[in-house]
Structure 1
Amino acid sequence: MSDTFKKIRTRIWLILNIAVVLWVLLGVLCMQVPPYDFWPAGFIAFSLPGALVLNFLFLLYWALRRSWFLFLPLAVMVLGWTYYERLLPLGLVKELPPQDAKTLHVMSLNTHMFTAYHGKERLTAGVSSEMVDWVASHPADVYCLQEFYSNPNSKEYDFNIISRIGARYGKEHFFSAASSSSKHGDLGVAIFSKFPIVDKGVIHFSEKPSGNRAIWADLDMDGDTVRVYATHLQSMSIKAEDIENTYTAIGSDEESFKKEGRNVARRLRNGFVKRGYQVELLLEHFKTCPYPFVISGDYNDIPFSYTYNELAKELTNAFVEAGSGLGATYNGPLPFLRIDNQFYSDGLQAYEFETHYEMALSDHFPISAKYMLEPKEEE
């Protein structure tokens, strides 16, 4: 009887393991599907981290049981190692560049308007001042700032942030404003650089004015040109109160839970679809770039998405290459989300990556990476 029970138990766990393997395969497949063609693929891909974690737990289970079935989850881990690296890079030590190498240090942050406003309400100037000072004093060569806000006409407080970050510290800047008002200031995406900006441009994702856009600047690094993109893809448009309302409704109000759940799902779906179009505009623009480049910003998508996957096919992710840990960048009610990234092209090599958890004043944590400009091959 005991042996029969063990066989039944083993068979059940094996069936569950096979189901998880199929889940992993389906998730990987769905990352290849444009959400505007089949939006449910976005949700299935979004669930892939859960399948990867469960597969690892099955590996531990079969190993403890000393069962040959461990080769099933082990094969998934080996064949799908690149996806595990997206989830949790090993952080292997990277070789430092030689002393004579040209290097580029890029910092990116969604500033959340430097917390100047919440809706139409003005918040305390002290928080904004502390965030501006943190950004302005960061040692990076280039800042890529999303939801960047500046108001040189403000009489209440020094919100001339372009001057406070750029002119005061000798950095050139390129600011593309999505909205502009003499009373309320300007809001958009900005690049600040200690290197001269020799060319620049904007990639509009929509014919209507929108803060979701990408800008680029070509930098003269002592005779070598490198392009830096700062991008802000379609926001999830999910507020903290949406998540809190969903949590509160669990187990207490079934109708409210369904309503809040549908609301969150609808916003996620719309975001998947719009970012699918936006990433393809970016990829088209990359084809025209004659220089090595870094694209940094707020992607509003996790590493298991069509958006991220399309970029990863063509470019290298700086966090995967030179970072370690979970690298969560969203400072909000949903934990463990890494939605801010830096990707880079051939001609550059990342050797250091950092998520700045010490600066928690925005709803995103800043990220920074250091790159070495690889020597050009002699013709």
Structure 2
Amino acid sequence: MQQHPIHNSPWFIRLLAWPALVLYAVSLLLYTIPPAHWWPMGILGIGWPYTWLAFGVLLLLLYRFRFAYRRFWLYSWCMGMLVMSNVWAMHTFSGQWSTQKENHLLRIMQWNCEQLAGIDTFHNRFSTDRSVAVQYIRQQQPDVIMMQDFQNYASPVLWSNLSLIRDTLGYPFVHFAPYFSDTKPWGTNTEGVIIFSRRPFIQTGRVQYPNREYAPYIGWADIAMNGKPVRLATTHFVSMHLNLGVLPADTFGFIYKQDTSVLVTGNKLKKLRYFQAYHTTQAQTLRAFLDTCAVPVILGADLNSVPTSYVYSKVKGPLKDAFLETGFGWGKTYRNSVLPNLRIDYLLHHPQLQVLQMHSHTLHISDHKPLLADFGWR
């Protein structure tokens, strides 16, 4: 009697095949199971591209050794291409970025500026870091700048970041949504999300996240583009501080007081579990806000989550991803990591809008890359 093909396969293939399929099948549910409900989904989301590639290597081995049901493995691997379409942008010949912009388009700059350092008067007013940011903004001439981790100092011994962009660079319309204000002997420091615009605001507002004393708002402002309203929204999902080691409890101050039990351990897994659970809450709140918007939205955000995550899928919903519309490759935006898939900063937009071009450039003043995109009506 002829032996079944599965019994002709080497033992290590038989050992790997079924457990790998189970793990891979579970990972395909990453858009449907929130990390708040089952924390391993958050870890699988970060490592998903590598899981998909490893499963592809296993698939080659299955065909090499003529493993039974290998076509089923092939179909499963192909299903993962739907997820990979959110990871890898395919516009190979998208063209070079042009600093010239037509008047009917809206140029948006999205950037987690990491406090926009270099503002103390013990150095030059425009220190090396600040001058780099100033030069970049002057060169690109965005109509709107949306920033996260923006700090402003009201002090006789420190320069004001708000005045720098509003007055020196010429963005007279400002909507600042600070989530904390800290008074020191030298003055007051405030931090939050902010929108600078050269076009007047029609209306502005902010939305607070629940269950947290200090969490960046959703800040929003409506402007007119070619006579029709567009809503600009910006937000920052809570940082996970994965690069921080074991630190004393008093290091984190009042902002992270409720997170002390996790942060002082320095354990990255605990931080991922803890903060990804709250990111789920933020994603659900942000999605509820976006669903109530009566005008087309452009969202600039640091979601602290990769495209293979529940958070990204929940926030994106029916919106378009500007990078996927025009870019190529991984599109990594977080600089301080060797992982190429850490695209955690986004420009998402309503389908009534289209992206004509998009650009990302490394500014060493921040650990995040700024995003630039030109928007128009379809």
**1:344 matched to 2:349:** yes
Alignment of 1:267-346 (within 5 A): 267-336=271-340, 337-346=342-351
CA offset at residue 212 of structure 1?
2.4
CA distance in 1, matches of 2:42, 2:349: 24
CA distance in 1, matches of 2:113, 2:242: 17
Percent of aligned positions with the same letter in both sequences?
23
**1:191 matched to 2:170:** no
- Secondary structure at the counterpart of residue 314 of structure 1: coil
- Secondary structure at the counterpart of residue 319 of structure 1: helix
- Secondary structure at the counterpart of residue 114 of structure 1: coil
CA distance in 2, matches of 1:103, 1:79: 37
CA offset at residue 51 of structure 1?
1.2
Answer with 41-50 or 168-177: which moved more. Answer: 41-50
Change (3 A) 1:128 1:92: closer
- Given that 2:116 and 2:161 are in contact with CA atoms closer than 8 Å, whether structure 1 keeps it comes out as no
Instruction: Look up the match of 2:241.
Output: 237
**1:13 matched to 2:13:** yes
CA offset at residue 12 of structure 1?
3.6
- Secondary structure at the counterpart of residue 187 of structure 1: strand
Change (3 A) 1:8 1:298: same
- Secondary structure at the counterpart of residue 188 of structure 1: strand
CA distance in 2, matches of 1:126, 1:211: 30
CA distance in 2, matches of 1:197, 1:29: 41
CA distance in 1, matches of 2:74, 2:199: 47
CA offset at residue 10 of structure 1?
5.2
Alignment of 1:363-374 (within 5 A): 363-374=367-378
**1:149 matched to 2:151:** yes
- Given that 2:94 and 2:328 are in contact with CA atoms closer than 8 Å, whether structure 1 keeps it comes out as no
Change (3 A) 1:347 1:220: same
CA distance in 1, matches of 2:265, 2:66: 42
Answer with 290-299 or 314-323: which moved more. Answer: 314-323
Change (3 A) 1:28 1:144: same
Change (3 A) 1:100 1:340: closer
CA offset at residue 221 of structure 1?
1.5
Q: Deviations over 1:352-379 (max 9, x none)?
A: 222212x1221111122222212xxxxx
Change (3 A) 1:166 1:209: farther
CA offset at residue 229 of structure 1?
0.8
Instruction: Look up the match of 2:162.
Output: 162
- Given that 2:42 and 2:273 are in contact with CA atoms closer than 8 Å, whether structure 1 keeps it comes out as yes
Instruction: Look up the match of 2:365.
Output: 361
Instruction: Look up the match of 2:267.
Output: 263
CA distance in 1, matches of 2:328, 2:63: 26
Q: Deviations over 1:96-132 (max 9, x none)?
A: 9xx9894222211111111349xxxx99972442344
What is the TM-score with the length of structure 2 in the denominator? 0.79
CA distance in 2, matches of 1:355, 1:83: 23
Change (3 A) 1:87 1:155: same
- Secondary structure at the counterpart of residue 33 of structure 1: coil
Change (3 A) 1:111 1:308: same
- Given that 1:330 and 1:365 are in contact with CA atoms closer than 8 Å, whether structure 2 keeps it comes out as yes
CA offset at residue 189 of structure 1?
0.7
Answer with 319-328 or 75-84: which moved more. Answer: 75-84
CA distance in 1, matches of 2:210, 2:274: 14
- Given that 2:302 and 2:346 are in contact with CA atoms closer than 8 Å, whether structure 1 keeps it comes out as yes
Q: Deviations over 1:157-210 (max 9, x none)?
A: xx2222221233332221111223471432111111222211111111146552
Q: Which amino acid aligns with 1:136?
A: I
**1:136 matched to 2:141:** no
Instruction: Look up the match of 2:41.
Output: 41
Q: Deviations over 1:59-107 (max 9, x none)?
A: 55567789997745542343232211222221255699xx989422221
- Secondary structure at the counterpart of residue 151 of structure 1: strand
CA offset at residue 58 of structure 1?
3.7
CA offset at residue 293 of structure 1?
0.8
- Given that 1:202 and 1:214 are in contact with CA atoms closer than 8 Å, whether structure 2 keeps it comes out as yes
- Given that 2:178 and 2:217 are in contact with CA atoms closer than 8 Å, whether structure 1 keeps it comes out as no
Instruction: Look up the match of 2:178.
Output: 177
- Secondary structure at the counterpart of residue 304 of structure 1: coil
Change (3 A) 1:123 1:40: farther
Instruction: Look up the match of 1:115.
Output: 117
- Given that 2:10 and 2:65 are in contact with CA atoms closer than 8 Å, whether structure 1 keeps it comes out as no
Q: Deviations over 1:263-284 (max 9, x none)?
A: 1111111111111011111111
CA distance in 2, matches of 1:50, 1:222: 44
CA distance in 2, matches of 1:19, 1:82: 22
Could you list the runs of 5+ residues in structure 2 that have no partner in the other structure?
1-5, 247-262
Change (3 A) 1:52 1:155: same
CA distance in 2, matches of 1:170, 1:356: 22
**Counterpart selection for 1:221 from 211, 225, 243:** 225
CA offset at residue 309 of structure 1?
1.6
CA distance in 2, matches of 1:63, 1:345: 43
Change (3 A) 1:148 1:260: closer
- Given that 2:45 and 2:306 are in contact with CA atoms closer than 8 Å, whether structure 1 keeps it comes out as no
Instruction: Look up the match of 2:22.
Output: 22
What is the TM-score with the length of structure 1 in the denominator? 0.79
CA offset at residue 231 of structure 1?
0.8
Could you list the runs of 5+ residues in structure 1 that have no partner in the other structure?
1-5, 243-258, 375-379
Q: Which amino acid aligns with 1:342?
A: L
- Secondary structure at the counterpart of residue 269 of structure 1: helix
**1:51 matched to 2:56:** no
- Given that 1:152 and 1:161 are in contact with CA atoms closer than 8 Å, whether structure 2 keeps it comes out as no
Q: Which amino acid aligns with 2:180?
A: S
CA offset at residue 307 of structure 1?
0.4
- Given that 1:33 and 1:306 are in contact with CA atoms closer than 8 Å, whether structure 2 keeps it comes out as yes
